[in-house]
Amino acid sequence: MPRPVQFNIHPKPADPKDNISMADAPDGYVGEGFFATKLNDVVGLARKNSIWPMPFATSCCGIEFMATMASHYDLARFGAERLGFSPRQCDLLMVMGTIAKKMGPIVKQVYLQMAEPRWVIAVGACASSGGIFDTYSVLQGIDQVVPVDVYVPGCAPRPEAILDGFMRVQDLVGHESLRRRNSERYKKLLESYGIQ
């Protein structure tokens, strides 16, 4: 008997005028000929709708990510059209799959090569906690080597779950204070990972 699967996607009605949907404007004051808002909100709006993900896929969860990028789910709808395979050009590290302890320093090196501001998603049980591999050789969560912003549960998570995790990151990006990366708290967080 087929498993009932609920796709979290509804067909959109045809738009004969081919209107382009717009991102919501931030809160602010509107008057005749002017709109005033906070710099934080404008930068957040731009950043959250132009995230460049860096996929770090080592096993099965990476296949779910391929489905997430393909036409049916299409991560590009969220402004993340452009996957980067050079960490220096990316701002979102997506770690998908089992990470062996030997691979931990490589994950950290990739993270270090990314410029600030950068965010991290642990996709799936393995990246989040080691998953079913409670063994001597598997890292029990990538947060042992780099700070993680969002964890996506599941083994493997469906593409909807990856999209949901991505939208949680967009929320964080959109509301992040421009001063956060210079704050003492953030510096302490990085220092706890041995990052200057």
Q: Under the rule (CB under 6 A), what is the footprint of ligand SF4?
A: 59-61, 97-98, 124-126, 131, 155-156
Among residues 53 and 97, whose Cβ is nearest to ligand SF4? 97
Q: Please give the C-alpha separations between residue 182 and each of 146, 188, 189, 190, in angstroms, as whole numbers.
A: 18, 10, 11, 11
CB of 100 to ligand SF4, least distance (A): 12
Query: What 3-state DSSP class applies to 168?
Result: helix
CB of 3 to ligand SF4, least distance (A): 17
Query: What 3-state DSSP class applies to 56?
Result: strand
Report the distance separating Cα 83 and Cα 48, nearest Å: 15
Element spanning 36, H or E: strand 34-36
Residue partners of 142: CB distance under 8 A and separation at least 6: 95, 99, 104, 107, 120, 122, 127, 128, 148
CB of 13 to ligand SF4, least distance (A): 35
CB of 183 to ligand SF4, least distance (A): 33
Among residues 45 and 69, whose Cβ is nearest to ligand SF4? 69
Among residues 55 and 124, whose Cβ is nearest to ligand SF4? 124
Contact 119, 87 (CB under 8 A): no
CB of 168 to ligand SF4, least distance (A): 18
Among residues 124 and 174, whose Cβ is nearest to ligand SF4? 124
Closest CA to 141 of 128, 155, 158: 128
